[in-house]
Amino acid sequence: MVAAPPQSGLLKVGVAGASGFTGGELLRILAGHPHVQLTLAAAGSQAGAAVSSLHPFLDGVVDLVTCDVATLVERSSELDCLFLALPHGESFGIVPKLTSPALKVIDLSGDYRLRDPSLYEQHYHRPHGDAAALPQFVYGLTELRRAEIATASRIANPGCFATAVTLALAPLVAAGLVTPIVHVSAVTGSTGSGAGVTPALHHSLRSDNFVAYKVFGHQHLPEIQQSLGLADPASSCRLVLQTHSAPLVRGIHATVFAELRSGARSEDVGAVFRETYASASFVRLREQPPNLKWVRGTNFTDLSWHVDGTSVIVLAAIDNLIKGAAGQAVQNMNVAFGLPETAGLKAMIGGGL
């Protein structure tokens, strides 16, 4: 059943993980959302701090004091929707305690994305703590799962690389246009690593630098394979995903290299993109290669495709904190509660610069 929009006005919404980069973006977006009343925000070790103290840019915008996560769980029955923006592994301790039947939960970590818990354990290097709940979770790549999301009460929000790469590849794979070998080169900005500091995030080392990381090993790969139906051993396509750290604050850019199957026509490529995204409010099909400034501060995914002989290149750009995290989570909330899909997501920061 698709939820009716809230009668009495506003959805009561909570955020766990308020102190992180994604938590800050969620709070910013939700504070401006016309159908939302920001009700609870939880921060781990900084519980008790005002949101405006954790995120000084939200001073005068969000007027909430954080509680701890246990308190948020206890009070979760007051909420219509709860976003979990916590480090990987922490949602396992929370989701089983969220028993309020009306509550919808949107988890932004990797904990409930992979249907096969052994894949999770292999890629996240920890036990899966709540395999029993996996069947309840819908994978929240909105453009590809809108109908399921509309009736879901548990949504696993996609990873940032997975969002960009899957939207770039899904039309080609679904239509069977490309051969088994697909190579993806993708780059991320430093917000993609979260607010914690490591030597690799030191400004002096990240600036004016570029480096591949997790060679052959990024944990978003199985998520993409699952979405594309490639986890099936009988699948006719396999993927190499190479991720890179770029001197960007925000953004994911993906360059997808594929080869047309024999018989596939160059013009089929554009046709499947146009058809797949005909009604997508947040996908823009571009003739020119998209750049990150076009999507910065927005929930858009910008895509272009290019064919030369039998080779295809698809280019995708998103803002990792918005379409790659907080924005898509709100988009999913909108769909799950029967609100207009773009509610609260039209306002952009940054104006392309």
Active site residues: 160
Q: Does 339 bind a copy of itself (CB under 8 A)?
A: no
Binding residues for a copy of itself, rule CB under 8 A, total 83
- Rounded CA-CA distance 34/64 in Å is 18
Q: Choose the stretch contacting a copy of itself; rule: CB under 8 A; options: 125-133, 149-157, 286-294, 332-340.
A: 286-294
Among 17, 24, 110, 324, binds a copy of itself (CB under 8 A): 24
Q: Does 80 bind a copy of itself (CB under 8 A)?
A: no
Q: Does 236 bind a copy of itself (CB under 8 A)?
A: no
Among 240, 274, 275, 338, binds a copy of itself (CB under 8 A): 240
User: Please, what is the minimum distance in Å from the beta carbon of residue 126 to a copy of itself?
Assistant: 22
- Rounded CA-CA distance 293/282 in Å is 15
User: Please, what is the minimum distance in Å from the beta carbon of residue 261 to a copy of itself?
Assistant: 13
Residues in the chain: 353
- Rounded CA-CA distance 172/230 in Å is 13
Neighbouring C-alpha atoms within 13 Å toward the C-beta of 172 = 35
Q: Does 59 bind a copy of itself (CB under 8 A)?
A: yes
Is 260 in contact with 307 (CB distance < 8 Å)? yes
CA distance to 127, 141, 169, 192, 330, per residue, from 111 (Å):
10, 15, 23, 17, 18
Is 160 in contact with 324 (CB distance < 8 Å)? yes
Among 39, 76, 157, 190, binds a copy of itself (CB under 8 A): 190
Q: Pattern 243-282, binding to a copy of itself, x per CB under 8 A?
A: -x-xxxxxx-x-x-x-x---------------------x-
302 to 321, contacts with a copy of itself by CB under 8 A?
Answer: 306, 308, 311, 313, 315, 317, 321
118 to 157, contacts with a copy of itself by CB under 8 A?
Answer: none
Q: Choose the stretch contacting a copy of itself; rule: CB under 8 A; options: 91-99, 107-115, 269-277, 291-299.
A: 291-299
Q: Choose the stretch contacting a copy of itself; rule: CB under 8 A; options: 80-88, 127-135, 163-171, 179-187.
A: 179-187
Burial of 214 (0-12, 13-18, 19+ CB in 10 A): middle
Q: Choose the stretch contacting a copy of itself; rule: CB under 8 A; options: 2-10, 85-93, 164-172, 177-185.
A: 177-185
CA distance to 76, 114, 115, per residue, from 131 (Å):
22, 10, 9
Tell which residue, 309, 317, 308, 266, has the closest CA to residue 289.
317
- Rounded CA-CA distance 145/255 in Å is 23
Among 140, 159, 171, 297, binds a copy of itself (CB under 8 A): 297
Kind and range of the H or E run holding 160: helix 160-174
Among 2, 48, 57, 118, binds a copy of itself (CB under 8 A): 57
Q: Does 164 bind a copy of itself (CB under 8 A)?
A: no
Helix 142-150 with 160-174: angle, nearest 10 deg:
100
Q: Choose the stretch contacting a copy of itself; rule: CB under 8 A; options: 5-13, 54-62, 84-92, 160-168.
A: 54-62
Helix 142-150 with 327-336: angle, nearest 10 deg:
30
Among 46, 100, 185, 235, binds a copy of itself (CB under 8 A): 185
Q: Which is nearer to a copy of itself, 131 or 348 (CB)?
A: 348
